[in-house]
Structure 1
Amino acid sequence: MPDTPRPYRIAPRYLANADADDSEALQPLLDADWARSQDQEGNTFVTAPDLRARLAHLPGSDGRVLWKAGAGPDAFAPPEWLVTFDNQTPPEVVADFTTALADTYTHGPDAYLNRNDRTVGVDTCLQLLAEGWSLDPATPFLTYRSPDRLVRLHVRDTPLRHEAETAGDTERWLFEVGPPGQVWYATASSRLPEHLLQALTTAVTDPSPVQRNMRRIDLDHLPHQATATPSVPTSLEAARIRAATSRSTSSPSSRQPAPAALPAPIGASTAVTPRRSPP
């Protein structure tokens, strides 16, 4: 029997692969009447009506960064803050952040720009500690680890050049997610407003399951800490089961093969100690 894709629910979602519909991350901004454009390389740019805030989806560019979001005081000014997601980030994570950005935009520039020109994050870090995260003294940064040890938040507590941050050469906040060898990254610069940093943190760490159409061979490449549970049968599988049941009912004496059993859930939640340091 061919190894055809079928739907599975993958939990936690931050261990799901990035193979899903990227348009989900663009839609909250498009629904808020942001303008969409595209270049010849297939990159998509979504811009707020006042031209101050923007999102870029960059599948046609070199490098690992797939998503960039930022905002500035006017259409021609460099961004005041920058948030990035790499090409292995589950798009549901990006969608949660763009949903928060679209909502924040409706409250005006004071909501989506850091008018005080200050480093934020104290409230966010205190909240993580209250939720059972721990500080790791073995890194050169302030590193917060989630209870399952699969999400690390590295905070650079040294002075950073604003121009270097907005160019993507360095970052104040670095999320490192996944076990060694299967890590994805999200970053944020110093002047990201606190409530957007909190929204980013919530998006990255949300354990809710997500659906992926996967083959058995794909399941083998999931982190072993992830759990994959079969979703409802496909319409074709359901039709085959109904046909087999009908034949069995109408001809009790005939021996019909039983429908194939659904694959059992795989994976179990275990803790690992990451071995890599942030770039």
Structure 2
Amino acid sequence: MSKRQPKWAAWGDQQSAQQHYLIEPRYLAGGGDLRHVTEYLRASGWTDNTPRSSAALVFDSPDKTVRVAYQPPGGWQVHGAAHGHQAAWQVTLSPQTPVEIVAGLTDPLAKDRSAHAPNVWGPLVMNEWVTNAGQDFTAVSPNRDAFVQYVGVGADQHWWMGARNEHGAVWNLQATPTTPFHLLQGLTEALASPEPVMRPRGHVPPSNRIRVTSVSVLPEQLRAWQQARITAARTATWARNSVRVARPRAKTRHHAHQ
């Protein structure tokens, strides 16, 4: 199958129910399928610039100002170019960052920004994370297995997020202080969400810090859930582009010669 073609159709070819597992907390669920991120971007009009014969993934925004890349074994890198009043920014995420949390960052890149002022800490406080406004502002999950920190002292200012289980660090994320706040809020919303995430058989992390619920899923159900996400992206992109096309241009005033 060409990498330029939609890839959702390759999932779940067998017709019998397949064993999957709902895992919580989601930040300890393991990496997941990269297509959760990339197919949403593709459906939102992003360009797949992945080099041929490469294990890497590279997607560029329609205006060419943002690049989302995955390079094994290094993980995710998201770069934003400077434009207008926005300085250049960068976020790096290790490979075991759950794709649902990565999507908390990348999905908003494909959407119009909300008119409401972003609040990075709001989703954490709402979900009872413990905050500490010491030298560095920190929020820790109720079970103390995940954290968000802003290191704001000295020249090395940055955002730092991550999770760990009984075996040690599972994943981490670092973002420049210039990263747009609405993207950081998307990350904290995805990180703190109490909703479990689903993983197939063989992809459940070996940890006693997670809660696992076994579910049987028909391939057609899995395809329907995946297609609903793609359809939402296409619909939003179509609506956004339609508004831009329909928006009238400012009329040029012609001044009479005196």
For the 8 Å contact 1:34–1:48, the answer to whether it is kept is: yes
Distance (Å, rounded) in 2 between the aligned partners of 1:155 and 1:96: 18
Change (3 A) 1:214 1:126: closer
Post-superposition offset of 1:182? 4.4
Q: What's the CA shift for 1:87?
A: 0.8
What SS does the aligned partner of 1:211 have?
Answer: strand
Aligned with 1:178: secondary structure?
Answer: strand
Consecutive aligned runs of 4 or more in structure 1 exceeding 4 Å deviation? none
Q: Secondary structure at the match of 2:165?
A: coil
Partner-residue secondary structure (3-state), 2:190: helix
Amino acid at match of 1:67: W
Q: Please tell me the residue identity of whatever aligns with 1:10.
A: I
The answer to whether structure 1 residue 67 and structure 2 residue 76 are counterparts is: yes
Within 2, Cα distance between the matches of 1:231 and 1:131? Answer: 26
Q: Aligned partners of 2:24 and 2:121: how far apart in 1?
A: 24
Instruction: Find the aligned partners of 2:192 and 2:65 in 1 and give their Cα distance.
Output: 28
State whether residues 54 and 71 of structure 1, in contact with CA within 8 Å, keep that contact through their aligned partners in structure 2.
Answer: yes
Q: In structure 2, list runs of 5 or more residues that go unmatched.
A: 1-17, 220-258
CA contact (8 A) 2:47 2:60 kept: yes
Instruction: Report Cα offsets for 1:66-102 as digits up to 9, x if no partner.
Output: 111121136xxxx711112111111122123221111
Task: Tell me the distance in 2 between the aligned counterparts of 1:23 and 1:131.
Answer: 28
* Equivalence for 1:208: 195
Match of 1:183 in 2: 170
Task: Report what 1:23 is aligned to.
Answer: 35
Flag structure 1 segments of 5+ consecutive residues without an equivalent: 112-119, 162-170, 236-279
TM-score, normalised via structure 1 length: 0.61
Give the whole-Å Cα distance in 2 for the aligned partners of 1:135 and 1:189: 21
Say yes or no: does 1:173 pair with 2:176: no
2:103 pairs, out of 70, 95, 107, with: 95
2: CA distance, partners of 1:17 / 1:176: 12
Cα offset, 1:187, TM superposition: 2.0
Aligned residue pairs, count: 196
Q: Given the alignment of the two structures, is residue 195 of structure 1 paired with residue 203 of structure 2, yes or no?
A: no
- Give the counterpart letter for 2:79 in structure 1: G
Report the structure, 1 or 2, having the larger strand content. 2
Deviations 1:192-215 (A, max 9, x none): 111111111112222311222225
Greater radius of gyration (CA): 1
Contact kept in structure 1, 2:121 and 2:188, CA below 8 Å: no
1:133 aligns with 2:129: yes
Distance in 2 (CA, whole Å) between partners of 1:95 and 1:129 is: 21
SS class of match (2:36): helix
Query: Percent of aligned pairs with the same residue?
Result: 27
Structure 1 pair 199–50 and aligned structure 2 pair: CA distance change class (3 A)? same
Q: CA deviation at 1:144?
A: 1.7
How many angstroms apart in 1 are the aligned matches of 2:126 and 2:213? 31
Aligned to 1:232: 216
RCO comparison, higher one (Cα < 8 Å, 6+): 2
> Where do 1:1-279 residues align within 5 Å?
6-18=19-31, 20-39=32-51, 40-59=53-72, 65-73=74-82, 80-104=88-112, 123-125=119-121, 128-129=124-125, 131-136=127-132, 141-160=136-155, 172-180=158-166, 181-215=168-202, 221-232=205-216
Measured on the aligned residues, the alpha-carbon RMSD in Å equals 3.0
TM-score w.r.t. the length of structure 2 is 0.65
- Change in Cα spacing, 1:228 to 1:127, as seen in structure 2 (3 Å) is closer
In structure 2, relative to structure 1, the CA distance for the partners of 1:155 and 1:213 (3 Å cut) is same
